[in-house]
Structure 1
Amino acid sequence: MPLSIDFRGVARRQLLPLQRIVAGWWRRQSPARQDRFATLGPLISVLLFLAAIISAFWYLRNEEIERETEAVKRDTEIAQQQIRLRLIENQEQLVRLAREIGTRTVDTREFAAQARALVRERPELTEVDWIGNHRDRRAYVSAGGYQDDSLVPNENSSDPSLPLANQSSPPELAFLAARERRQPVYSLPFADTSGTTVFQIHVPLVDRSGFSGVLIAEYSVEALLRHAVPSEVATRHAIVVLDGREQVVSSTVTPMPGQRIQRASIIHDVPLAPALNGLVLRGQGYRTSIGLISNTLFWMVVALSVLTVWMLLGTWRHMRRRLQIQTALASETNFRRAMENSMLTGMRAMDMESRISYVNPAFCAMTGFSEAELIGRKPPFPYWPTDRYEENARLQQQEVQGRSPAGGAEVRVMRKDGTIFDARMYVSPLVDSKGKQSGWMASITNITEAKRVRDQLSASHERFTTVLEGLDAAVSVLSVQQGELLFANRSYRLWFGADPAGHALLAGGPLAARANIPAEIDEEIDDYTGLPTQALTEAGSDPREVYVESLEMWFDVRSRYLQWTDGRLAQMLIATDITVRRRAEALAAQQAEKAQVTSRLMTMGEMASSVAHELNQPLTAITNYCNGMVSRVRGDSIQKDDLLSALEKTAKQAQRAGQIIHRIRNFVKRSEPQRQAAQAADIVEDAVELAGIELRRRSVAIHTYVAQRLPQLMVDPILIEQVLMNLLKNAAEAIDNASLPASRRHIELRVVPKHTPELGGHIEFSVTDMGPGLPEEVISRMYEAFFSTKADGMGIGLGLCRSIVESHQGRIRAENLYNASAIVGCRFAFTIPVDISRADPGGGAPAVNLQATP
């Protein structure tokens, strides 16, 4: 019995669950949604139909374009293959002819015969040349015939087809490439004497002696395209040759004079192989099909679809408008009910007879009475306090007569449990739909908490004002735009009165200039255009010190912008009297200056014997030179040259003594600190010159290194020199007191630029000795005043050094040098901040090594 399958029954059973799901979803929708979906269904169907038609037209159009593109690509590649085959065949014949020339089996006559036959067979060849290794033309054949050898010039500088030495023409470049590679080379395209675009192939000629020249075949691009491209390809599509600048060199289609060829919609580019010299073979095709825009059937379908969509949209808008009206009515009812239930403000309506006709839930919750207890009641109302009947009756009469205050009236309301609270009542007429007044509507707000907050704010303001009035600092607030003094405490009024000029004087900015500007001009000036108020109020300012000459007082002024209570931008200043502190600082600076001079005098006092010994040498030399000259003059035994030499040596020794005295005088004289541009090398040279006296007395050598191209220092050179002198003298004393051997009796002074994230760019001066070092407890206390490890020390040297360095925004530190756990020396270093990027090319000095010996 054959097996039969009921496919319809199987499909029906598979669709039943889906139908039940869709039917259940449809029943769950509201009638309004069902109407909307019923309207949108046909609209979507029409849009899908229109989309399908457009897609079909688009697909067919793209298929046709792809076929046309493939045809253009195929014909272009066929043309490329034909040109390739033609060039390769020509190249093989030229290589054969070059080989025969190289083996000397062909002379110029035979070359002419073979070249002439080649030119006749290959019309794309315009010329065949035999060029020697010195670029001399030995023979050539052109498309016009053979040129006799006697008429061939050895050099022709006007022919662009010949390679010329020391030029960058395409023939010359191809000639050089063929000579170097010993392979056929195609040249770049160029214009010959007749203006025709051509290119050449250079086949090298090689004999037993090596390279002997080239065989040049010149191709006409136009002739190559005309004879190599098949006629059926040229009939179907236009084939053009482009140069490297996308300019048309030759084409199978010749335009009418004065007309431009229409730009092809389909193109395909391939290189002109095997030349590969920048020429591009391009196939061009034109679409013959009608686009979607020109298809009448397409526009008919679109018009019918748009008409159907428009009619469906009109029906949908009509149904939607009816649905909106129904929804608005229901929403209005729900909105009024929700507003009544959610409002915290109590609403009470009365008719013209002062009978309560409506109260909202908030009013009932506020008073504790239910709606049934209030509706229909007349004055006195149950929420009136018993002791305020007369006052509430007066307010009720004003309400009925329409004389209620616009800002509302403050009343006291009694709850059902007897408690009383403060409220503010606003009354307005109640008008019906016909424009006739039907009663009064009153809104009541509980203001008990607001009154409490207001009282607290008043008390807080009073306390704040009391605190500001009791401050010793002047506090003032000035409006930025109007220049009006908004607030001033007692100290400000005591010093400056109620005049805003005092604020402007302390501010020292644009507000100070506003003090003398007329009001009509000031309104046109906006110093803060484009600056948001929030950015100004959040930004702080650095404290400034201001001197008020009229009061002879110094003030520490701190300012910031804030938004005043009325929204205006204002500036607040807090000025603290610092006159006593500034006087103390000035006195301390004077004492520090005296201490610096004292320290220098003490240093020179300790070096007095060394200075005397240093001066004794030039003075003794001067005496000896003078005595010697006197003796020889008396004996009339001195020549003029000897006398001049002795006088020059005497002057040099006197100059040396004068320099020593001048340096000591500049070092010890008292002067005001003067910051000036100075070079580190000059400071080190002066300091080493003075310290060298002490170092030589103690038999201590010094090695100095100053880095090259250091930037200038803005310092007081005498003070920095004093720091170096103190550190060098301390190092020499440490070495001498420890009785170290000669191998450890030396000091190293280094000056190098550095840069650290903490200090930025700076120059470091370091003094390193090989002495016994410093104990840890001494390192922690060495900068304390009057602390010293010397028996006769005063303890002010290192303290002054630290003060001098820190006054130049630098730092000083000391550290011991270790070899394992043993101390082998000590290193003092201090820094002076500079801008390393602005180093003076001539400001540095090479490394200098100075040694002081016993």
Structure 2
Amino acid sequence: MDKTAAPLPEPAQASAIAAPARWWRTWWRSLSPTRQDRFAALAPLAAVLMFMAAIVAAFWYLRAEEAEREQEALKRDVEYAQQRVRLRLLERQEQLMRIARDLSNQELERPEFVGRAEALISQYPELQAITWIDDKRRIRASHAAPTLASSDLRVAGEVLTPGDTADTFGLARDLQQPVYSQPEASEGDSTPLLQLQVPLNHQGKFSGVVLGEYSIDSLLRYGTPTEVLARYAVTLLDGKSQVLAGTPLAPRNPATQLLPWSPRANEYEVPVSPVGNGLVLRAQAYRTSLGVVGSGLFWLVGTLSAMTAWMLIATWRHTRRRMQAQQALVAETNFRRAMENSILTGMRALDLEGRITYVNAAFCQMTGWSEAELVGLKAPFPYWPDSDYEALYAKLRDEINGNTMAGGFQVRVRRKSGTQFDARLYVSPLIDAHGQQTGWMTSMTDITEPNRIREQLSASYERFTIVLESLDASVSVAPLGSQELLFANKLYRQWFGSQTVGHLQLVAQAGVVPSTASNSTGMDDEDGLMGLPTDPLTSARTENAEIYLPELGKWLEVRSRYLNWVDGRLAQMVIATDITPRRLAEEQAARQTERAQSVSRLITMGEMASSVAHELNQPLTAISNYCSGMVSRIQSGQITEEALLSALQKTAHQAQRAGQIIQRIRAFVKKSEPNRTLADVHSMVNEAVELADIELRRHNVRLTHYVAARLPPVMADTILIEQVLVNLMKNGAEAIQHANRPAPNRSVELRVVPKHIDDHEVVEFSVQDTGKGLAPEVLERLFEAFFSTKQEGMGMGLNLCRSIVESHHGRMQAENLYNGSEVTGCRFSFWLPLAKPVDATTNSVANAQPPRTIA
């Protein structure tokens, strides 16, 4: 079974290829033109950068490959040179080992040893000296090359001194093998040597060594192939990496080693056998690269790529700045166009010949003609009314000639629909960017509505002025701290003229001028209340005062308030109304009230006359009986002095009782001016109870009263308060009589108690009866003047009672009493404030003012 995937059908392949293309087109179209331009500008830059990166990568790869080939060649050459040096050392070692074998077998004597050493040294330049040393470290024979330094020469018979050679001698003795060593060079000797000590073994016994000394420099020169020396810088190093022979290359700048085109040091080293790590052969490849000159193509391509990238970036930045300038220009143009189309002022441009070259949307909307219908037209224009051609022609000639008014001029404009409206035109020269005038710019504003509002304001001002001039009150407005009169109506001018004296006189006598303003001398125009907040002053309620002006012979009611004048100054408006007729009517009403009170008391006493006569009949009858009895008993001589004295005392008591009744009635009905004094509540209630008890007994009504103990005195007119109490108790008795209550339920109760009302200490008087109460409609009008529920009543009793109470700064009220839903009576109550210490002036003023009726 073939497991390879079947190829896609052609439609599927086409759709698989078209899907990325569709996605690319969709993504590209979703971008804004600015982003498309940005991507289009970045694509060449990205291509140049990619090309430059490819060139750098290619050069790096080629250099890396070249360095690898050079390293392989160097490695082969160094290993080849190391083999050559090793073979040369092994050959010399073999020759020295033959000499050592011959010496161990005693086949060589000293002359033969010297001869063979001389032959080897002359044949092989690297050999510098061959020395025979016995087991006592004594030199038996030695031969050296002429090039060997005198310090390194060895003389027969000498003994090795302790040092490198002596140490190696012991090592060769111990190991019984050839040993290589590098003795330290003596001071002043710069030729390093390589020593080889081959041990001598005679019949299994150590008998010395053969010491061979090599010149390391000659070993390098003659042992290394010439082609290697020509291609590389070959050196021999010791175990401490110190150069023994050869000239190494100078070190290169490590800062340039990281660059891909910078030449790297190509070297290789290997230890030389059989010496081991004590002698290392190192080869450094000479610089085969051409450097900057050889990398000219690279630099040329890099420079061209950098220049291309820089030019692309500069072009992209220039294009971006141009696009930004273009966008700013388009935005500015759109903004100016939107601003021109959104303003309500019509704009029209004329050339120097008077031809329309431009109109905005507001101008077209005002006139009804489109821009295509107006641009290019000359006078007469279609929006000119037919009746104004001559005037508009003259205005156009003045406009073209430059004779324009700075404040503009008003014209009538005809719409396309035929309607007309008022407009104001402002004309200014149209200057181009070069400072040359190319025409005239005209702005047109529809002033139909402002004209209508102005006419309405004028008419309103005229009506307002007529109303103020027709007022029967004086109205004046003046700024604080100034002698200027801002406004005065006709009545003010009739009373005081056109000066501020009358205004200031009204303010001063009414006592509504602020202390800061009253101190002004009138010579300074500064506001006396400058710096103070004006809102609390202007929002304060009106202050009222009643004053009398002897100059006019009138009583005036003065009302004052502060207001902000049209120029922002704080001013004071004073309205003075003539209230002389009202004051005369009030005085007459006060006199009538006094008369009504007296009449009420007389009527009350008239109604109580029979009861008073009955009350007086008892003491008078008692007096007559006492007198008749005393006369008869005196005539018969049957009376004693004690009985006579007792009868006379009883007679005097009854006469005193009758006199008190007459005196109380006279005081009650006597006409007198109100006199408020400190009054004792107990005495006042007792007097009223004695006066009312007679009338209540006539109606068979029981009277009870309760007065709280230790009540403080009140400031009141006792006669007037007694009148109120008597009237209330008499009304309660009449209500019980009218209700036909049975005897157990016929009672009137008077209670006097202290009370606390509205944060004030008062004394409350309440009169409670057991009648049928008052209907709701009666309660609403109970204290009205001339309203009464009695057929024979005048409707003044309760009204006078309420006026008396309120003149004493008290309050009176009435309410029904209920037992469940049944009305069981009515209660009238009023309260008087407690007495307060007052001075003589206040007392005299209080006594001088009559009680006023307040509905």
Report the TM-score, using the length of structure 2 for normalisation: 0.48
Rg larger in structure: 2
